[in-house]
Amino acid sequence: MNDTPTALAADVARRPVRKAGSEASGTTDATKLRQEILAELTYSVGRSPETASTRDWFVATALAVRDRIVDRWLLEHAPDHARPRKRVYYLSLEFLIGRLLFDALHNLGLTDAAREALAGLGVELDRVREAEPDAALGNGGLGRLAACFMDSMASVGVPAFGYGIRYDHGLFRQGMRDGWQQEYPEDWLSFGNPWEFAHPEIDYAIGFGGYVEQINSGGRAKHVWRPAEKVDAVAFDIPVVGWRGKHVNTLRLWSARAPDPLSLAAFNRGDYVGALADRVRVESISKVLYPSDETPAGQELRLRQEYFFASASLQDLVRRHLEEHGDLGSLPDHVAIQLNDTHPAIAIPELMRILIDLHDVPWAEAWLITVGTFSYTNHTLLPEALESWPLPLMERLLPRHMQIIYMINALELETARGKRPGDDGLLSSVSLIDENGGRRVRMGVLAFIGSHKVNGVSALHTDLMKQTVFRDLHALHPDRIVNKTNGITFRRWLAQANPRLTKILIEAVGPELLDDPERLELLLPMADDAGLHDALLNARRENKVALAKIIAERNDVWVDPDALFDVQIKRIHEYKRQLLNILETVAVYNAIRAQPMRAWMPRVKIFAGKAAASYHQAKLIIKLANDVARIVNSDPTVRGLLKVAFLPNYNVSLAEAIIPAADLSEQISTAGTEASGTGNMKLALNGALTIGTLDGANVEIRERVGDDNIFIFGLTAQEVQARKQRGFNAHAAVEASPTLREVLDSIRNGVFSPDDPSRYRGLIDGLLDNDVFLVTADFDAYFDAQRSVYRLWRDKSAWMSASVKNTAQVGWFSSDRTILEYAKEIWNVQPSSDLA
Ligand code: 26V
């Protein structure tokens, strides 16, 4: 056969391969895949190979790959599919999934076939990969965790639906203007989404507002909610294929539609804008992802989003359950609903309403069903991030839910009174209604009491939950809080992101590694093997060259791939202490300037992350990083030995480029504030050494990799608490540290902001007056830990040995392990990998 693109297209046109049948599924034959891609290009995209853009090739490839997934997917969801196993419904307002092409190719074992198929058409797979927009339907850790969990549930065979919102616009695109963050709208759907199936026939009416009517139904009082307003929730499904293509789950995202496309009356009056006004207002619900903020979510639209997706998801799963099992009494036997933070917690009173008002289930039974079905994950202890809603807003938007919440509260308080008579402090702390400063509904309390299990995301975080925010609820329900330390999918964060490292690891411990990441431990006896070190160093260097190229393109800064790449990538927040890292950078800069001719070791400080649009302090920290970068990078005394780069628009794809090139991983939050962290796991897996505080999952990383292979510094969570109680004085800490003093003086006096010398006066004075996150308290310890880093870096083989020991001992942080723990201890679901 003539293999030129045109000849192939003609051939395909004669024998179109529209759908991969069962015989085609799983084949890794490049020729067949090439025909399928060409068929999609021709019949679905409507382009010829000669005129196709890279994006067209991406769409055609994605559609061809999607076809391979669909047969298995439909099989698993067939109505006559044996006896359906218990399912998990993962409710999350965020799914930070990133690009999907390599996920699907890798899990189906088609990456090489796709590369070959496209190469035969003169198209490069890596360019096609870049044409896919990042699906950024999340803010950070919580959303990325949901995406890793979707991959792991499909991989270990936990039947699951992820439920969320199909935002038209995901997290804003971050631009830089003169070092200041600028937010631009993100438009991932502008060219369509080849992974999704629109299901306009799956739609549910979601009510808002109105009033509750009490009617007499056969002698019993019955409540009927008469909403003033209705919004339709329409389903869009993305199939999620697991490792080796064995299982396919569904990510079902809801989009808001107005029941009426326009007001004809207004249109006929000539009011064309007014004719669309209602529709625009209603559809704004799924318009844009809510950015996480330093201020509590106070806006009505956010509450509407929460109820919209919680209600649609519950209506959907209740309908499915009734079809399959007939009655709602058995719901907890067949359904586990996981609440990803409190954002979907309104689902608890919604299920109560469905049971009581729509299905006549008595209260006590309804409550048992509800608690048996729900469980809740907490992701933060920061008081400002704990959700609560003003009573008047709740009363107005969800009047029936408010009645149910009052009733839940009354019963819970009665139980509490029974257990601890006369303890009024306890009663006000476990009440669903916060009476301090404007009455509000506490969503954390609602999620806690409506769930049979509540989990933290690292051992330390879970302990702190028991001691702080949930202390009294924990005393009343001592078996409810459990720990489920987070994990990451190794398929994305090792195999896809770092193929060079993966190849070496497979050669060292065997291909079974891809099924069982704990096999990485087999590397341990080779930790000092010079040949292995060389191979790893070469792979790392190539990754660093690739990152250096990105830094040159985006920041116009040249960095030396042989320098130590010191990386801090995460949301910009005061508690994560990017400022501490910048202060140390300035200290090094001062030291180089003081003794320019000393043998300084080349290092590159790499930052990336977004700040919430209204978080002024975080945006100022970004500006400071950029100001320091500008001065340091262009100072001839530094001679390129220290470089600073703030890479704009951090997202999943940029993380995939940075993590394989990192030598040092910055995990330096104030102890007790970072619930877990997951970037820490990704970086350690890829061989970076961690410099970090005893916070979140760092504690468990240290337990596994050993004290000698991690740089731990600073106050512990307990010490932080004690210092704060005593009243911490930053002035004293600064007086005790000449290095820190010089650093703060130089920033305060405008050394890095000659165009506006007072720019950082407020920042530095604020730090001295009220150092909430104890940056100054930990500075010296951090500075010393950085010196230990450089001492080890000088000894290449000692460094590489520590690096190997990191990779070897973090297999436990696979999200497959996390999901198996949830399945066993929270959901009571049997994963198919456990089935005979
Ligand atoms: C808060 C808000 C409040 C305003 C509206 C939107 C919004 C969205 C998110 C949040 C809180 C985010 C909490 C979060 O992302 N926590 C992170 O969860 C990770 C996964 O468990 C964990 O690794 C991180 O340590 C933790 O910060």
**Domains of the chain: which residue ranges?**
1-82+103-132, 83-98+134-485+820-827, 545-813
The residue whose CA is least distant from atom 16 of ligand 1 is: 379
Write out pLDDT tens, residues 381-402. 998 888 999 999 999 999 999 9
**What is the pTM (predicted TM-score) of this model?**
0.95
Write out pLDDT tens, residues 766-809. 999 999 999 999 999 999 999 999 999 999 999 999 999 999 99
Task: State the closest ligand 1 atom to the C-alpha of 696, by its place in the atom list counted from 1.
Answer: 25
Alpha-carbon distance of 512 to 84, in angstroms, equals: 30
> Do strands 440-442 and 388-390 pair parallel, antiparallel, or not at all (unpaired)?
antiparallel
The residue whose CA is least distant from atom 1 of ligand 1 is: 292
Matching CATH topology for 83-98+134-485+820-827 and 545-813?
Answer: yes
Task: State the closest ligand 1 atom to the C-alpha of 140, by its place in the atom list counted from 1.
Answer: 15
Mutate to test the pocket of ligand 1, among 96, 152, 292, 815 (most ligand atoms within 8 A of CB): 292
Output the six-digit token pair for 557: 């800064």
Task: State the closest ligand 1 atom to the C-alpha of 457, by its place in the atom list counted from 1.
Answer: 21
Can you say whether the dihedral through the CA atoms of 662, 664, 668, 674 is positive or negative?
positive
Alpha-carbon distance of 520 to 536, in angstroms, equals: 14
Output the six-digit token pair for 684: 């350690």
> Do strands 440-442 and 433-434 pair parallel, antiparallel, or not at all (unpaired)?
antiparallel
Q: For residue 350, count CB atoms less than 10 angstroms from its CB and return exposed for 0-12, middle for 13-18, buried for 19 or more.
A: buried
* SS3 (DSSP) at 206: strand
The residue whose CA is least distant from atom 7 of ligand 1 is: 292
Helix (H) / strand (E) containing 705: helix 698-705
CA distances from 405 to 409, 450, 480, 729, 824 (A): 6, 10, 20, 44, 30
Centre of ligand 1 from the C-alpha of residue 396, in Å: 28
Task: State the closest ligand 1 atom to the C-alpha of 291, by its place in the atom list counted from 1.
Answer: 6
Centre of ligand 1 from the C-alpha of residue 380, in Å: 6
| Active centre residues (catalytic) | 379, 570-571, 576, 678, 682
Centre of ligand 1 from the C-alpha of residue 570, in Å: 12
The residue whose CA is least distant from atom 14 of ligand 1 is: 142
Our measurement of the distance from residue 233's CA atom to the centroid of its chain's CA atoms, rounded to an integer in Å, reads 24
For 88, residues 6+ apart whose C-beta sits below 8 A from its C-beta are: 153, 158, 159, 160, 161, 336, 337, 338, 822, 823, 827, 829
Mutate to test the pocket of ligand 1, among 96, 380, 669 (most ligand atoms within 8 A of CB): 380
Q: What confidence score (pLDDT) does residue 84 get?
A: 83
Q: Where are the alpha helices (DSSP H) in 354-390?
A: 359, 363-373
The residue whose CA is least distant from atom 9 of ligand 1 is: 292
Q: What confidence score (pLDDT) does residue 220 get?
A: 86
Backbone angles phi, psi at 716, to 5 degrees: -85, 170
Task: State the closest ligand 1 atom to the C-alpha of 290, by its place in the atom list counted from 1.
Answer: 6
Centre of ligand 1 from the C-alpha of residue 698, in Å: 17
Output the six-digit token pair for 646: 């703030």
Mutate to test the pocket of ligand 1, among 142, 338, 377 (most ligand atoms within 8 A of CB): 142
Centre of ligand 1 from the C-alpha of residue 379, in Å: 6
Mean pLDDT, the chain cut into blocks of 10 residues (836 residues total):
38 37 51 97 97 98 96 75 86 98 96 96 97 96 98 97 98 98 96 96 97 92 96 98 96 96 94 94 94 65 97 98 96 98 98 98 98 98 89 97 98 94 91 91 98 98 97 97 98 97 98 96 98 98 98 97 98 98 98 94 98 95 98 96 98 98 98 98 98 98 98 98 95 96 98 98 97 98 98 97 98 98 98 71
Alpha-carbon distance of 414 to 426, in angstroms, equals: 12
Task: State the closest ligand 1 atom to the C-alpha of 144, by its place in the atom list counted from 1.
Answer: 20
Centre of ligand 1 from the C-alpha of residue 370, in Å: 25
The residue whose CA is least distant from atom 15 of ligand 1 is: 142
Output the six-digit token pair for 617: 């302090």
The residue whose CA is least distant from atom 23 of ligand 1 is: 677
Centre of ligand 1 from the C-alpha of residue 142, in Å: 5
Alpha-carbon distance of 304 to 128, in angstroms, equals: 38
Centre of ligand 1 from the C-alpha of residue 678, in Å: 12
Centre of ligand 1 from the C-alpha of residue 94, in Å: 10
Nearest Cα neighbor of 335 from 377, 375, 376, 373 is: 373
Mutate to test the pocket of ligand 1, among 90, 94, 139 (most ligand atoms within 8 A of CB): 139
Task: State the closest ligand 1 atom to the C-alpha of 377, by its place in the atom list counted from 1.
Answer: 21
Centre of ligand 1 from the C-alpha of residue 139, in Å: 8
Centre of ligand 1 from the C-alpha of residue 144, in Å: 10
Task: State the closest ligand 1 atom to the C-alpha of 93, by its place in the atom list counted from 1.
Answer: 8
Mutate to test the pocket of ligand 1, among 90, 341, 379 (most ligand atoms within 8 A of CB): 379
Helix (H) / strand (E) containing 744: helix 738-748
Task: State the closest ligand 1 atom to the C-alpha of 674, by its place in the atom list counted from 1.
Answer: 25
Centre of ligand 1 from the C-alpha of residue 141, in Å: 6
Q: What is the DSSP-derived secondary structure letter of residue 404?
A: H
Under CATH, which number does the domain 545-813 receive? 3.40.50.2000
Q: For residue 301, count CB atoms less than 10 angstroms from its CB and return exposed for 0-12, middle for 13-18, buried for 19 or more.
A: middle
Under CATH, which number does the domain 83-98+134-485+820-827 receive? 3.40.50.2000
CB 511 within 8 A of CB 501: no
Centre of ligand 1 from the C-alpha of residue 761, in Å: 30
Task: State the closest ligand 1 atom to the C-alpha of 387, by its place in the atom list counted from 1.
Answer: 3
Centre of ligand 1 from the C-alpha of residue 674, in Å: 10
Alpha-carbon distance of 640 to 87, in angstroms, equals: 56
Task: State the closest ligand 1 atom to the C-alpha of 293, by its place in the atom list counted from 1.
Answer: 4
The residue whose CA is least distant from atom 19 of ligand 1 is: 141
Centre of ligand 1 from the C-alpha of residue 675, in Å: 9
The residue whose CA is least distant from atom 5 of ligand 1 is: 292
CB 262 within 8 A of CB 282: no
The residue whose CA is least distant from atom 12 of ligand 1 is: 142
Q: Taking CB atoms and a 6 Å cutoff, what residues make up the pocket around ligand 1?
A: 139-142, 145, 290, 292-293, 297, 302, 379-380, 385, 457, 486, 674-678, 696
Residue listed under structure tokens 């995901």: 170
